Structure 1
Amino acid sequence: MELLHSGKVRDVYADGDDILLVASDRVSIYDVVLPTAIPDKGKILTQLSLWWFEQLADIVPNHIVSATDVPAEWAGRAVRCERLEMVMVECIARGYLAGSGLKDYGRDGAVSGVALPPGLVEASRLPEPIFTPSTKVAPGAGHDEPMTYEDVERAVGADVAAELRRITLEVYRRGSEIAARNGILIADTKIELGFSGGVLKLGDELLTPDSSRFWAADEWQPGGTPRYLDKQFLRDWSAKSDWDRTAPGPEIPEDVVEATRNRYVEVYERLTGDRWR
């Protein structure tokens, strides 16, 4: 097999007509891979993505060929996938105000060109979920930048832009309904889409603690900081240090590693109803 790409978290290999997507235990924040791994993270991301792909298969097809036809040493954290021609747009849906969306709202009263009502605060539920795309920048080539819907139309055409928005918002709506039944709020999420045979399909990962902002529903209230069940916990930890957000990142203390892993496990178990082995 040929290594095509080694990303912040995943390694991509060519294997005939397929690719193998292998999730590692690496963790990145602010586009920097930290030197300390989170045990089981790669398997949790992979297994949770597979669970979500199955739950949402009626909304949009996905790139999975097999979750078992992979080398034994990667079992549980690798999937065999179709090669997709990826759309160079990060497709993001937001149902709550947090992160960069909160900063943009504070500055512009809008996120990605979508005007929002005045008076919203951190963790406010939005009147309805919104599509807030960004550019898709290659690793090491800078940071993703917000796009308006009109920017997306210019980049990919009106028909594709409309389908990207429809799929992203429907994935978010359905995913949020499922998560809410299990005590989790999905504040926002990012999905990857690409073409295969002229059909848009989901790629990469889906509704994981790396690609989404998960909150404990029973601890949520507007104006406060809900208990994070994702890697925002690591970002908050790093903010208390003197790290300048450039490589190399700091080592993660053992207690923070354990607390981070526990959040990934909690999300998996709450959503799927299965015990993490």
Structure 2
Amino acid sequence: MELLHSGKIREIYADGEDILLVASDRISIYDVVLPTAIPDKGKILTQLSLWWFEQLADVVPNHIISSTDVPAEWAGRAVRCERLDMVMVECIARGYLAGSGLKDYERDGAVSGVVLPPGLIEGSQLPEPIFTPSSKVPPGQGHDEPMTYGDVEAKLGAERAAELKRITLEVYRRGSEIAAAKGIIIADTKIELGVAKDGSLKLADELLTPDAARFWSADEWKPGGTQRYLDKQFLRDWATHNTDWDRTEPGPEIPDKVVEATRNRYVEVYERLTGDKWR
């Protein structure tokens, strides 16, 4: 098989007309891959994504062909997928104020051009979920930058922009309903979409994982400060408050206790959402 691309977390291989997406145990924060791996992370991301793709199959189709027709050495962490022409817009939905959305709101009173009510604080639930896209920059060519909905229309046309917004918000809405029943808040998430040969949009990459979403425990949610994260924000906070790292290469080594605490969060959110015990 031909290696098409090696990303921060995944490798993409060509296998005839299909591609194989292989998730590693690497972890990245602030666009830097840290030198310490998180055991089982690649398998957790893959299996949780597969679970979500199945849950949301009636909302939007996805690129999965098979999760078992893969080389044995990649079992559990690889999927066989349809080739798509990826949309060069990162589609983000936010239902709560956190992360870069919080910073934008504190500066502008808006996120990606969406004006929000005054008086919101960290962790606040928004009046309704909002679509806050960003640019998608190829690896090594800079950082993704916020876009307004008008920017997406200018880039892709009004019809395609409307599709992206509708799908993103519906994935967030349905995903949030499912997670809420398991005691989990999805504060925000990003999704990847690609265009199939027939021109339709399909979900790709990963879906509603701790790498691609902010998960909070609903019974501990309290606006006005940081939440108990069940995602990799825990690691970002560790690096910010416990190291003098300047967010450039190389990243800091992760201590064993922090590796274990990070893995435990990935396992917890997998088990709470799916109802299955992580093996």
Alignment-derived partner of residue 182 in structure 1:
182
CA distance in 1, matches of 2:247, 2:199: 40
Alignment-derived partner of residue 239 in structure 2:
238
Identity of aligned residues (%): 84
Q: CA deviation at 1:221?
A: 1.1
Q: Secondary structure at the match of 1:119?
A: coil
CA distance in 2, matches of 1:58, 1:183: 23
Q: Quick one: which amino acid aligns to residue 266 of structure 1? A: E
CA distance in 2, matches of 1:77, 1:174: 25
Q: CA deviation at 1:36?
A: 0.3
Q: Secondary structure at the match of 2:163?
A: helix
CA distance in 1, matches of 2:260, 2:156: 42
Q: Secondary structure at the match of 1:59?
A: coil
CA distance in 2, matches of 1:235, 1:194: 29
Alignment-derived partner of residue 72 in structure 1:
72
Q: Secondary structure at the match of 1:76?
A: coil
Alignment-derived partner of residue 40 in structure 2:
40
Q: Quick one: which amino acid aligns to residue 125 of structure 2? A: R
Q: Quick one: which amino acid aligns to residue 213 of structure 1? A: R
Q: Quick one: which amino acid aligns to residue 273 of structure 1? A: G
Cα root mean square deviation, aligned: 0.4
5 Å matches for 1:180-259?
A: 180-196=180-196, 197-240=198-241, 241-259=243-261
Alignment-derived partner of residue 132 in structure 1:
132
Q: CA deviation at 1:224?
A: 2.1
CA distance in 2, matches of 1:221, 1:180: 15
Q: CA deviation at 1:226?
A: 1.1
Q: CA deviation at 1:225?
A: 1.4
Alignment-derived partner of residue 7 in structure 1:
7
Q: CA deviation at 1:255?
A: 0.2
CA distance in 1, matches of 2:28, 2:226: 22
TM-score normalised by L of structure 1: 1.00
5 Å matches for 1:143-162?
A: 143-162=143-162
Alignment-derived partner of residue 264 in structure 2:
262
Runs of 4+ in 1 over 4 A off after TM superposition: none
Gapped regions of structure 1 (runs ≥ 5): none
Q: Secondary structure at the match of 2:277?
A: coil
Alignment-derived partner of residue 119 in structure 1:
119
Gapped regions of structure 2 (runs ≥ 5): none
TM-score normalised by L of structure 2: 0.99
